[in-house]
Structure 1
């Protein structure tokens, strides 16, 4: 089982969109650890949305689809629909 996930940082007011086939708690722990990369800019990332997929390629395709929106408001509407 793989997941598409969206994290939000309140301090940055930014979303991070990714996918993983590992346990989501472990993936978030890695985002919150000391590392280089986009999510290293903040330590308050929270999971705000996820979708399950049967394969890595499906989860990655959905990640690319959402990233191609290039719209913070569209991402917010997606999250709100699951509210």
Structure 2
């Protein structure tokens, strides 16, 4: 989770120049951890659910969906 937070912060702080106008971009990240009995499909479904939650609450967020499908917005 710390890596995801660092990526989000670095991206938000980075300014790109498009001619004379600075552009800023943000990153939303959805996380999940492999749990006993998971398939690739269930793991990706939880990660996708977390990403959707991060974008729904507000952009530039990190969210984590647990194996019981509860989601926590961590930033």
Shorter-chain TM band: 0.3 to 0.5
- Which structure features the higher share of helix residues? 1
TM-score by length of 1: 0.34
Q: Identify which of structures 1 and 2 has the higher relative contact order when contacts are C-alpha pairs closer than 8 Å and 6+ apart.
A: 1
Q: TM-score, normalised by structure 2?
A: 0.36
Larger radius of gyration: 2
Question: By percentage of residues, which structure has more strand?
Answer: 1
